[in-house]
Amino acid sequence: MKWDNLIHKLRFLSLPMSCLYGMGVRFRNKFFDEGILKGESFDIPVICVGNLAVGGTGKTPFIEYLIRLLKDKYRVAVVSRGYKRLSKGFVLAGKNHSYMDIGDEPFQIKHKFPEVAVAVDANRCEAIRQLMLLPDEKRPEVILLDDAFQHRYVKPSYSLLLTNYHRIYSHDCLIPAGRLREPRSSAQRADMVVVTKTPLALKPIDYRIVEADLHLRAHQPLFFTSIEYGKLQSVFPDKAIALTEKVPYTILAVSGIAFPAPFQEKLREMSKTVHVLEFPDHHDFTERDLCHISKEFQSIQAKDKLIVMTEKDAARLMAKQNLKEDMMPYCFYLPIQIAFLQKKQREFDRIICKHIDDFHRNTINK
């Protein structure tokens, strides 16, 4: 209770800073709205997947869903800033690039979908221009713009706004008092809003309450998605131990994501004993961190035990040369996908595919 009171007081004290930050963001948006600052449009469908808050809405699994939806019909490319990468400028991901070259999320996407072009550049306009210079057989027919709702120098042809059910933007406030990067009113720019990480046990009235809270416009469809967990996968398949379903494994849960609670809750459903190690979002595991993980794992007395991490953390761990080899067989990750609720997956798919087809048809007829 004392901790909650302290957090409440700190948020109250930071409200003046949030007001100043909000003024700056509103002026910037007004400059774009009035054409003082220019956004660039492209002769290709550009679908932006973004949010108002800082992290934790599940953009990467949503991008992956869109890739699965579109890749058999169109040449798909993903453009990202490449957060925390060590490289500079434009990089077109190849098989020899590590997460340090392109960022952990683009690396994960490229690793899972090698046929998809993945480009990183802080200047998203330049990244799109570079992709459009590729040979005809490689030039993308649709671009997925990752985490670019605030990057208004690109005018997307369609904009998806994600919001975490457990921290919906309508109940949040601007940083530093809250987690919003833009005022709640900025949601009006979105063509569609998706509430992610929704609990499965919602009643119809709960959906209606959320919809009323968001105050969406008539043209903005609303969808709800939840997290769907897959079976444990080995981080190092050629060295992995064979898992046995009936064995009650003790788990060391390692995570470096914004909101690890759902991941940890799922592991507690899988095991009676879960030890937790948390790191900051996008954390780059150092040699000291790996030693700490190793010591924690070795201190677990159980005979049957595993290290389980998120898929994003596994992408970073794969590149580490200083991980002890005797630890590798026990390293697993828990893959996730999104699942649409209220039986609305077909409706979502139809809207996205229709937008792309209409865009191409209108471009040809120009």
DSSP 177-229: TSSBSS-GGGGGG-SEEEEES--TT--HHHHHHHHHHHT--TT--EEEEEEEE
pLDDT for 9 equals 57
Lowest mean pLDDT among 19-33, 130-144, 177-191, 275-289: 275-289
pLDDT for 15 equals 86
In a domain, 25, yes or no: no
Q: Are 161 and 52 in contact (CB under 8 A)?
A: yes
| Residue 116 pLDDT > 90 | yes
pLDDT for 5 equals 54
| Residues 224 and 235 both lie in one domain | no
| Residue 7 pLDDT > 50 | no
Which has more pLDDT, 28 or 326?
28
Mean pLDDT throughout 248-273? 93
| Residues 64 and 210 both lie in one domain | yes
Query: Does pTM top 0.85 for this prediction?
Result: yes
| Residues 208 and 238 both lie in one domain | no
| Residue 185 pLDDT > 90 | yes
Report helix, strand or coil for 32.
helix
| Residues 343 and 289 both lie in one domain | no
In a domain, 54, yes or no: yes
Determine what percent of the chain is predicted with pLDDT higher than 70. 96
Measure the CA dihedral 255/261/262/264, to 10°: 60
pLDDT for 318 equals 83
In a domain, 179, yes or no: yes
What is the rounded distance in angstroms from the CA atom of residue 245 to the CA atom of residue 134?
Answer: 47
Mean pLDDT throughout 20-48? 97
| Residues 344 and 276 both lie in one domain | no
Q: Residue 44 phi/psi, 5° resolution? A: -155, 145
Domain of residue 186, residue span: 46-74+141-228+339-365
| Residue 4 pLDDT > 70 | no
Return mean pLDDT, the chain: 93
Lowest mean pLDDT among 140-149, 218-227, 252-261: 252-261
| Residues 145 and 57 both lie in one domain | yes
Q: Which band of pLDDT confidence, cut at 50, 70 and 90, is reported for residue 35?
A: very high
Q: Are 112 and 105 in contact (CB under 8 A)?
A: no
Which of 9, 69, 70, 145 is closest to 338 using CA atoms? 69
Which has more pLDDT, 15 or 76?
76
| Residues 308 and 284 both lie in one domain | yes
What is the rounded distance in angstroms from the CA atom of residue 256 to the CA atom of residue 56?
Answer: 11
| Residues 168 and 151 both lie in one domain | yes
pLDDT for 180 equals 96
What is the rounded distance in angstroms from the CA atom of residue 331 to the CA atom of residue 252?
Answer: 10
In a domain, 14, yes or no: no
Task: Look at the chain and report how many structural domains it folds into.
Answer: 2
